Amino acid sequence: LFNVNLQKPCPFWEDNSHCGMRDCAVQPCPSDEVPDGIRAGSYKYSEEANSLAEECEEAKRLGAVDDSLSKETRQAVLQWAQHDDSSDSFCEADDIHSPDAEYVDLLLNPERYTGYKGPDAWKIWNSIYEENCFKPQNVKRPLASGRGESFIYLTKWVSRVCVEKRAFYRLISGLHASINIHLSARYLLQDSWSEKKWGPNITEFQQRFDEVLTNGEGPRRLKNLYFLYLIELRALSKVLPFFERPGFQLYTGNESQDAEMKHLLLEILHLAKSFPLHFDENSFFAGNKKEAAKLKEEFRLHFKNISKIMDCVGCFKCRLWGKLQTQGLGTALKILFSENLIEKIPESGPSYGFQLTRQEIVALFNAFGRVSTSVKELENFRNLLQNMR
């Protein structure tokens, strides 16, 4: 369940290009899918509170604290509600207290091809690459779907800049590649009155990633996908101490389910930590401390700006997944650049130095799920292409 405001206006240009196709629509969560501990302002875990409301309640009611909670849970609620991490955040968070914010069941709104394409979609990615990737103005990106020779010059520029700016570009390129793989893997192959059929579209995949059709750019995009995967995997391994604390709770109102969920979460994190070949972020922002601090702030503000651009996406389902995945990546970066704070987290008691909101946690794990799915789908496409030969 992801709390999102899909009604925020585009802050950069006037946009009336909302996609009218049915596959662009987002289905909000039915009330009985939202656990009482999340949606109910009272947070009561009593028998009468288990009766489900008729509709998703406004997110502003999440912050209320009730005496029926244990002392530890009240402390956690207050800690999350009062925490203001704007100085650490890499994303422009949604105003979840807005009446327009609503819970969306991600399983009911899968990321797949919606028909949203053409100039409106290209405008989003061009704004991201042209204005937010530390790219000089004289290095241009093609205004189409990326099958031109202009990418050769863009690649030459990337190879000359410092490691931090190069990594930033590669992360955005990896995210772009991941999204394109999702759309190619769950393409609308048949749309008739009797049924809809979704599945892999090999032609679409080749147009975006084939080495010949993309003038050598396709394989680089896929390398950037793996780079993104390693970055997010590294973040999961680094954040383990935060979730391991006995006082940390994933509370929904169902104690047995909450305990099981925390057990599964820690299982995933320990598995991530066992992977030996993580990306080493220690090379980031090294050297002169003043220059490093300035570059880190630029890095954060550029990424925050990209998260704002997601409010300009005309397709609501694309906007939903774009916001979630940028916030997930932003949370991963926040974790990687908070290593000293995470190391100082006490085993018991509150963690005032480093904190993650429920929204950030949901985005982090679901974003990594999307990148992981891309890696899996990539293997499937390789097998399909192999069988065609």
Task: Give me the helices (H) in 310-352, please.
Answer: 316-336, 339-343
Contact present, 375 and 229 (Cβ < 8 Å): yes
| First CA to last CA distance, the chain | 42
Q: In which element (H, E) is residue 291 found? A: helix 289-309
Contact present, 7 and 312 (Cβ < 8 Å): no
Where are any strands of DSSP class E within the chain?
2-5, 101-104, 187-191, 196-199
- Is 173 annotated in a binding site? The answer is yes
Rounded CA separation 284/162 (Å): 10
Q: What is the DSSP string of 43-109?
A: ---STGGGSPPSSPPPGGGGG---TTS-HHHHHHHHHHHH---TTT-SS----TTSTTEEEE-TTTS
Give the Å distances, CA to CA, from 162 to 48, 145, 174, 287, 313: 59, 27, 18, 12, 30
State yes or no: is 318 an active-site residue. yes
- Is 176 annotated in a binding site? The answer is yes
Rounded CA separation 204/185 (Å): 9
- Is 112 annotated in a binding site? The answer is yes
State yes or no: is 315 an active-site residue. yes
Contact present, 231 and 171 (Cβ < 8 Å): yes
Beta bridge partners of 4: 102
Rounded CA separation 231/280 (Å): 9
Annotated active-site residue in 24, 56, 133, 315: 315
Annotated active-site residue in 91, 133, 312, 318: 318
Q: Which residues are catalytic?
A: 315, 318
- Tell me the binding residues for FAD: 112, 114, 125, 173, 176, 208
> Residue ranges for the binding site?
112, 114, 125, 173, 176, 208
